[in-house]
Amino acid sequence: MKSKRVVTSIFAGLLIVAIPSVGTAGSLAGSEGDKRFPPALTRDAKSPCNKAYKAYVAAGGHSAYATTPYTRVTSLYIICGSRLNAPSQKVAEAAAMKSCVATRAHYKVTNGGPCEIAASK
């Protein structure tokens, strides 16, 4: 009988420790995730890339943000792409890259560097 109480109290202790981590593991909202380089964002809050990055940070699931690197010497603008709430981080990164590359091709951008994943979670 004493061993049953010990097992029950150990189980209860483990349950109490595990419950807070269950709530935090469920959502990635507000997290910048794995930041590979700081994305260049303009001061214009209405720019599409600023909106995409803010939506990426706010997303609660696996998401990624891809962008062209910005250098003042060769770039006049920034091209970006994102994927929000994907089934996995890998899927989000692939879709964000595809979006960025497609946007780059649409605008026929030939300078400024290739698309890269800036952040993913």
Of the candidates 54, 58, 66, 71, the one whose C-alpha atom is nearest the C-alpha of residue 99 is 66
Of the candidates 56, 48, 52, the one whose C-alpha atom is nearest the C-alpha of residue 32 is 56
Helices (H) and strands (E) in the chain — how many of each?
Answer: 3, 4
Q: Looking at residue 58, what is its pLDDT?
A: 97
Q: Looking at residue 71, what is its pLDDT?
A: 67
Q: Looking at residue 111, what is its pLDDT?
A: 78
Each residue's pLDDT tens digit, 77-119: 789 999 999 999 999 999 999 999 999 999 998 877 899 999 9
Q: Looking at residue 99, what is its pLDDT?
A: 97
Q: Quick check: 9 pLDDT over 70?
A: no
How far is residue 92 CA from its own chain's centroid? 8
Q: Quick check: 7 pLDDT over 50?
A: no
